[in-house]
Structure 1
Amino acid sequence: MTNENTTHFGFKQVAKEEKVQMVRSVFDSVAGKYDIMNDLMSFGIHRIWKRIAVQLSNVRSGESVLDLAGGTGDLTMLFEKRVGKKGQVVLADINAEMLRNGRDRLIDHGIIGNIRFAQVNAECLPFEDNSFDCVCIGFGLRNVTDKDAALRSMYRVLKPGGRVIVLEFSHPTDKLTEKVYDFYSFNLMPKIGKFVAKDEESYRYLAESIRMHPKQDELKKMMENAGLERCEYFNLSQGIVAVHRGYKI
Structure 2
Amino acid sequence: MFTDVPPSYDFVNRVLTWRFDVIWRKKAASESLKNSPSKILDLCTGTGDLALQIRKKTESGAKVFALDYSKPMLKLAITKANKKKFDDITFIHADVANIPFPDSHFDSVGIAFAFRNLTFNNPDHDIFLKEIYRIIKPGGRFVIVETSQPKNKLLRSLFHFYMKHITSPLGGFLSGNRGAYRYLAHSAINYWNDQEATDYLKSYGFSQVTTKMILGGISAIYVAIK
C-alpha separation between the residues in 2 aligned to 1:29 and 1:179? 31
Q: One-letter code of the match for 2:211?
A: Y
Measured after TM superposition, the shift of residue 194 of structure 1 is 3.5
**Matching of residues 25-174 of structure 1 within 5 Å:** 26-59=1-34, 63-84=38-59, 86-113=61-88, 115-144=89-118, 145=122, 146-174=124-152
C-alpha separation between the residues in 2 aligned to 1:244 and 1:85? 23
C-alpha separation between the residues in 1 aligned to 2:126 and 2:192? 11
Measured after TM superposition, the shift of residue 109 of structure 1 is 1.5
Q: One-letter code of the match for 1:193?
A: G
1:169 and 1:210 in contact (8 A); partners too: yes
C-alpha separation between the residues in 2 aligned to 1:111 and 1:171? 35
Q: One-letter code of the match for 2:76?
A: N
Note closer, same or farther for the CA distance 1:233–1:64 as it changes in structure 2 (3 Å cut). Answer: same
SS in 2 for 1:67: strand
C-alpha separation between the residues in 1 aligned to 2:59 and 2:90? 14
SS in 1 for 2:2: helix
Q: TM (normalized to structure 1)?
A: 0.83
C-alpha separation between the residues in 2 aligned to 1:123 and 1:216? 24
Measured after TM superposition, the shift of residue 117 of structure 1 is 0.8
Q: Which runs of 5+ in 2 are unaligned?
A: none
Measured after TM superposition, the shift of residue 57 of structure 1 is 2.7
Q: TM (normalized to structure 2)?
A: 0.90
C-alpha separation between the residues in 1 aligned to 2:9 and 2:217? 23
1:31 and 1:98 in contact (8 A); partners too: no
SS in 2 for 1:150: helix
1:61 and 1:82 in contact (8 A); partners too: no
Measured after TM superposition, the shift of residue 84 of structure 1 is 4.2
Note closer, same or farther for the CA distance 1:140–1:74 as it changes in structure 2 (3 Å cut). Answer: same
2:111 and 2:144 in contact (8 A); partners too: yes
Q: Which runs of 5+ in 1 are unaligned?
A: 1-25
- Structural RMSD (CA): 1.8
Aligned twin of 2:198: 220
2:37 and 2:107 in contact (8 A); partners too: no
Q: Higher mean Cα deviation, 237-246 or 211-220?
A: 211-220
Aligned length: 222
Aligned twin of 1:185: 163
Note closer, same or farther for the CA distance 1:167–1:148 as it changes in structure 2 (3 Å cut). Answer: farther
1:171 and 1:240 in contact (8 A); partners too: yes
Q: Equivalent pairs: percent with the same residue?
A: 30
Q: Higher mean Cα deviation, 177-186 or 140-149?
A: 140-149
Measured after TM superposition, the shift of residue 60 of structure 1 is 5.6
